[in-house]
Amino acid sequence: MSTTVAKAPEEPTLRRSVTPWGSFSWGYSDVGADIFVGLGLVLGAAAGASNVAFLFAGIVYVCIGLAYTELAAAYPVAGGGQYFVFRGLGDIFGFIAGWAVLLDFTIDIVLFAWSCIDYLSKLIPILSFTAHPWVHFLVVFSVIAGLALLNIIGVRESSAFNELVSGLDVLSETAILFFGFLFAFQPQLLVHTMQTSWPTPFNLMNGVSLAIISFVGLESISQAAQETQRPASVIPRTSISLILTILIFALAYSNLALGMQPWHTIPPDAHGHAQALWQYLGSEENNGAAVAVLAANVPYYGALAGLYVPVLGAILLLISSNSGVFGSSRIAYAMSGTQLLPSLFQKVHPKYRTPAISILTFCGFAIVELIFAALPSLSPPVREIYRRLFRGEDGITFLGDLYAFGAAASYSFVFIALIALRLNDSQSPRRFKMPFNVPFTYKGNRVEFPVVAVIGFFGIVSILVFTMITHEIGRVAGPLWIIFGLLGYLLYRKRKGLPIFGSQSHDWRKAQINILQSAGELEMMDEYVANVKAMDARRATVPTVTSAGPRP
C-alpha cells in the first residue's frame, strides 16, 4: 500500500516585482514630494534663515539615509525602520518605533493628498480649501479611497505609476532651478534677506522641525526591500542616489526662494504691506503650493511652468500619498508577523497578494486625520475652539506638526538600533557600511562603532526637542498616538500570553538565513553561515573561568 500526503497550501507572500528604477521611484515619490509641501511651511516659519533650517535638517537626513541604506541592504525585509529597531532593541521598542512610523505614513497619505488638491487649485479655483473647504475635503477623501483600491490591486501597478512620474518630476525640478538661477537669482538679495529677516530662536527651531518633513520617506526603499529584486546590491545604489538628489533640491530651492527677484509683481499682504517672494510663498494662501508659485515667477520659463508645474506637482504628491498607503500596510504586515500586532494585519489577499486589511485599516486612520485637519474650516464653532487651543494653525500645519513628531521619534530609535546591531550581529554581511567607524573588540568579536550614527542620533533628538517646544499640536497629539498604541499593544500581548514588557525568544540566525535566501542573496547567506560557524568555533576554544579554575 502506498499513501499520498497532501501538502497544505502555502500562504501567499509578497511578490518581488520592484526593479532598481522602481526602488528609486518608491523613495523619490515619497521624499521628492516633500519639498512641494515643506518649502512654504519652512519659509513661513524660519523666514531669512530657511536655507539654514534646510541645511541642518539635511545633514541629519544624510545620516538617516546612510543608516537606512546599511540596514536595508543587510536585512532586506518588509518593515523598514520598525524591523531594524525590533531586531536590535527588542519587542516593545520595535512596536513603539513601528507605531511612530505608522503615524507618519497615515499622515503621509492625507497630507500629500491634501497638498495634491492644493496644487490643482492653482488651475481649478473651485478646489481651493480657503474658498471651498467642503469641495476640497470631499475630493481629498475620494483620492484616499482611490489609492486604497489601487494598492489592493497590486504593487506592480502602483510601482509603474511611480516610475513614470518620478522621472518627469526630476526633469521638471531641475528645469525650474536651472532657469531660476540663470535669470532671476541675485546673491546680494539672498544676503540682504538673511540679514534683514533673520528669525527669532523660537521661529528658527520651528523652521528646523518643519524642514525635516522635507526629508521624510527614504525608508520607503527599505520597506519595499522584500519586494525588490536583489535588494542587497540595488538598495545602496538607489539610496545614495536619492540622498544626493533630495539634498541638492532642498538646499537649492530654499536659497532660490530667498534670493530670487520675481518675474511678476507680488501682491501686498492682507494688511496692504509689500511682500518679498519668500513671504508670498510662506503665506497661508500659498504655503501648500509653494513650488508652483515659485515656478510661475521664474522669468520666461514661468509662463510655461505656471501651467504644468501645478499638474506635475499634484501627480507627484499623489504618488507620495500612494507611498504612504504602501508603507503603512507593509509595516503593519511586518509587525503582525512578529506578533507586535494581531495576525489579522498579515492576511494577504488570495488573488492580488497584497495586505488588503492593513491597507484599508490605515487608510481609515488617514481619513480620521483628514477630518480633524479639515473640521475647523468646515464648522465655524469648531474653528473658534481650535484657534484658541492651537494659535489658529491651519489644516496643513496641523498635519505637518504630527508628521515632524512621528519622523523624529522613529528615526531616533533607528540610530540606536544600528549601533546595537553592529555590536550584537557583526556576523551579518554588510554590502554597504556607514563611513567613519572605530574598530574594537566586543564580546570576543571584532566590531566597528559607527560615529555617524551618534552624530545623527543627537541631530534627530534635537529636532524632536524642537518639535515638542514649538508645535502645540505635535506635543499633544503625537504622544497621545504613542500612548494609545502602547495600551493596545499591552492588552494584545497579555491576551496572547506573550511577554508584555520583555521580548519573545527569537532565532535570529535562522531568521537571517531565511531573509537572505528569500531575497536571492545566496552569496551573503553563505558568508553569514561561515561567519557564524567561525564565531562558534572561537567561542568553543575559549576556556570558561569558574571558581574551580578554567573549564574547557
Give one DSSP letter per residue of 250-271, joined into a string: HHHHHHHHHHBPPSSPPPP-TT
Least confidently predicted of 141-155, 182-196, 410-424: 141-155
pLDDT attached to residue 481: 92
CB atoms within 10 A of CB 411: 32
pLDDT attached to residue 7: 41
Condensed to tens digits (0 to 9), the pLDDT of residues 295-328 reads 999 988 998 998 999 998 898 888 888 878 888 8
Distance set, CA 288 to CA 44, 84, 394 (Å): 11, 33, 11
Task: Sketch the domain layout of the chain as residue ranges.
Answer: 20-496
Q: On the CB side of 45, how many CA atoms lie within 13 Å of its CA?
A: 28
Mean pLDDT of the chain, nearest integer:
84
pLDDT at 214 over 90: no
CATH class of 20-496: mainly alpha
Return phi, psi of residue 437, to 5°. Answer: -115, 150
pLDDT at 387 over 80: no
pLDDT at 156 over 70: no
pLDDT attached to residue 526: 92
Percent of residues, the chain, with pLDDT higher than 90:
40
Q: Which residue has the higher pLDDT, 267 or 435?
A: 435
Q: Which residue has the higher pLDDT, 340 or 354?
A: 340
Condensed to tens digits (0 to 9), the pLDDT of residues 33-89 reads 888 888 999 999 999 999 999 999 999 999 998 998 899 889 887 667 888 999 999
pLDDT at 23 over 70: no
Q: Which residues pair with 442 in a beta bridge?
A: 445
pLDDT attached to residue 14: 47
Condensed to tens digits (0 to 9), the pLDDT of residues 90-145 reads 999 999 999 998 898 898 899 889 999 999 998 999 998 878 889 999 999 999 99
pLDDT at 384 over 90: no
Question: Euclidean distance between the first and final Cα of the chain, in Å?
Answer: 53
pLDDT attached to residue 17: 47
Cα distance between residue 490 and residue 488, in whole Å: 6
pLDDT attached to residue 550: 44
Least confidently predicted of 5-9, 135-139, 248-252, 507-511: 5-9
Cα distance between residue 417 and residue 414, in whole Å: 5
pLDDT attached to residue 261: 85
Report which secondary-structure segment, H or E, holds 526: helix 522-541
pTM (predicted TM-score): 0.83
Sequence-distant (6+) residues with CB within 8 A of 416 are 85, 88, 89, 457
CB atoms within 10 A of CB 428: 21
Q: Which residue has the higher pLDDT, 539 or 18?
A: 539
Length in residues, the chain: 552
Cα distance between residue 294 and residue 133, in whole Å: 24
pLDDT at 486 over 80: yes
Burial of 330 (C-beta count, 10 Å sphere; 0-12/13-18/19+): buried
